[in-house]
Structure 1
Amino acid sequence: MSKKVIQILCWNLFGILLLISLYCTYRHGFWFNLDSTIFHFFNQFLDGSNKTFLYLIAITNHRSFDVISFLAMALLYYLYFRKVDNIDKRKMIVIGLMMLVMAILIKQWGRFIPISHESPTLYFDPLESINRISKLTHFGTKDASSDSFPGDHGMMLMIFAAFMWRYFGLKAFIQSAIIVIIFSAPRIIAGAHWFTDVYVGSLAITSIVLSWFLITPASDYLARGLLHLMPKRFFKTS
């Protein structure tokens, strides 16, 4: 059995075990206790006593702030883009297109996972008094979702990190992983997502699907095909 096959099987086993563990402990057990602890820890600080923190979380959960996370990824990508020659610039454009395609496909694939639940703000609100940033700030920010699994925003960030690891190495992965943590945190702090929506659901789905695309020759075959279709005027190589 080849090394790549073993890697794929390991990533798939990792993802499947994460999903099974979450499915089997729904509303009880380790994952729920962790989710509940994280939610209540942050929610206590959203009572309005610290206006700076409250509005920071409100702003970073507004839909328009997603543009900032995209710009952070684009900036990191550009830092690698500017260092390479025209041949590799063409390849990086293609890799960027593949990221977008895989993001769309994986998002659709995630809908078939038989796990669905409301965000912690909606789950706990009828049971106890909790702090909702949308009510405290009237900012029109996202602090709830009727179906928060998996964390789509976190999944897009993780797809970016996986591609950076595959094509640019461990250093690029660490840099992009920092972006994942920074820009997925506001959703969890606000209670729009459970911790496991992102770091179990999104991580599991990304691990399963992308392992078949990035570890096999599939990504390289697609990249060569897209390079062949790219107009020659983009970053001429001669």
Structure 2
Amino acid sequence: MRTRFPLILLLNAAGVALFMSWYLPENHGLWSTLDLAIFHFFNQGLSADNLGYAWFLAIINNRAFDGCALLAMGGLMLSFWLKEDPDGRRRIVVIGLVMLLAAVIINQLAQNLIPVTRSSPSVSVPGVHRVRDFIAFSTKDGSRDSFPGDHGMMLLIFASFMLRYFGRRAFLISLVIFVAFAFPRVMIGAHWFTDIAVGSLTAVLIGVPWVLLTPVSDKLIGLFARNLPHFTKMNRAIK
């Protein structure tokens, strides 16, 4: 992969423009109206008379449900891994490692460099209900620092790697995974819609192109493939 500077700069500019469209207007302009409308749409159903809805939101925001996201992503990569020879399977594992490394670095940079700290709607909007008001169940229904959405950011980075290394069909499937596992946080009020639609997407548009549209990811994959232990050889040595 040669460095594709025009496309990188275009995506970076789109990320900056997206962020500024939210950051510069007073009280975030129309984004705030959209945020509140989406939050109240989902929050209005929380009541003592509708415990089934509260349980549903609690379950899809439990840490175990986050594990289902990992299973979905792993299952998608496994579908490609099963079709490969040993060298191809090793490369897919290495791609996963590089993706994880990139996700951790981009997430940390975004959390530290984006000049925004705000609480989730379930914490900051007065007079609203939280899931914990009705049921005692371990779930994430609020945050004191919800921007940018790290959960959505990780899923978008996964989708970007799927597009780069596995094609459009894998990318479309990964977008379905993104929606299924990122937006429950919006439904329960642990994130504003723009924590993901602006915060997560901004970080990905600015950070990911410098990994995937330059030789960085390919070189890291090659480096890891050359230096990580080869499990087939290790198994033979043990035997």
TM range (shorter): over 0.9
Shift, 1:53, TM fit? 2.4
What residue number does 2:69 align with?
A: 69
Equivalent position of 1:226 in the other structure: 224
Using the TM superposition, give the Cα deviation of residue 235 of structure 1 relative to its aligned residue in structure 2, in angstroms: 8.0
* Aligned-residue CA RMSD (Å): 1.7
Aligned residue number for residue 42 of structure 2: 42
Aligned pair 1:97/2:132, yes or no?
Answer: no
Rounded Cα–Cα distance in structure 1 between residues aligned with 2:88 and 2:200: 30
CA 1:81–1:32 in structure 2 vs 1: closer, same or farther (change >3 Å)? same
Matching residue of 1:136: 134
Whether the 8 Å contact between 1:106 and 1:205 is mirrored in structure 2 is yes
CA contact (8 A) 1:25 1:31 kept: no
Q: Which residue matches 2:57?
A: 57
Aligned position for 1:213: 211
Code of the aligned partner of 2:188: A
Match of 2:5 in 1: 5
In structure 1, give the amino acid aligned to 2:124.
Y
Conserved? CA contact 1:164–1:176, under 8 Å? yes
CA distance, structure 1, for counterparts of residue 46 and residue 76 of structure 2: 31
* Aligned 1:117-132 pairs, distance under 5 A: 117-125=118-126, 129-132=127-130
Distance change >3 Å, CA 234–CA 214, structure 1 → 2: farther
Distance 2:184 2:48 in 1: 16
Counterpart of 1:61, as a letter, is N
Query: What are the Cα deviations for residues 110-141 of structure 1, in whole angstroms up to 9, with x where unaligned?
Result: 1210011010111113xxx2121011112132
Unaligned runs of 5+ in 2: 235-239
Structure 1 residues 72-87: aligned runs within 5 Å:
72-87=72-87
Letter of the 2:173 partner, please give it. Answer: Q
2:187 corresponds in structure 1 to 189
- The answer to whether the 8 Å contact 2:3/2:213 transfers is no
TM-score, structure 2 as length reference: 0.92
Any idea what the Cα deviations from partners look like across 1:124-177, whole Å, max 9, x if unmatched? 13xxx2121011112132111110001111111111111001100111000000
Matches within 5 A, 1:169-188: 169-188=167-186
Residues paired across the two proteins, number: 232
Kindly indicate whether the alpha-carbon contact (under 8 Å) linking 1:43 and 1:190 is maintained by their aligned counterparts in 2. yes
1:217 maps to a residue whose letter is: P
Which amino acid in 1 is paired with 2:109? Answer: W
Confirm or deny: 8 A CA contact 1:120 1:191 kept in the other structure.
yes
Deviation track 1:16-39 (CA, whole Å, cap 9, x = no partner) reads 111111211362411111101100
1:65, distance to aligned residue in structure 2 (A) = 2.2
Kept in 2, the 8 Å contact 1:87–1:235? The answer is no
Stretches of structure 1 lacking an aligned partner (at least 5 in a row) = none
- Are residue 201 (structure 1) and residue 202 (structure 2) matched? no
* Matched ranges for 1:19-38 at <5 A: 19-25=19-25, 27-38=27-38
Identical pairs, percent: 43
- Contact 2:22/2:28 (<8 A) preserved: no
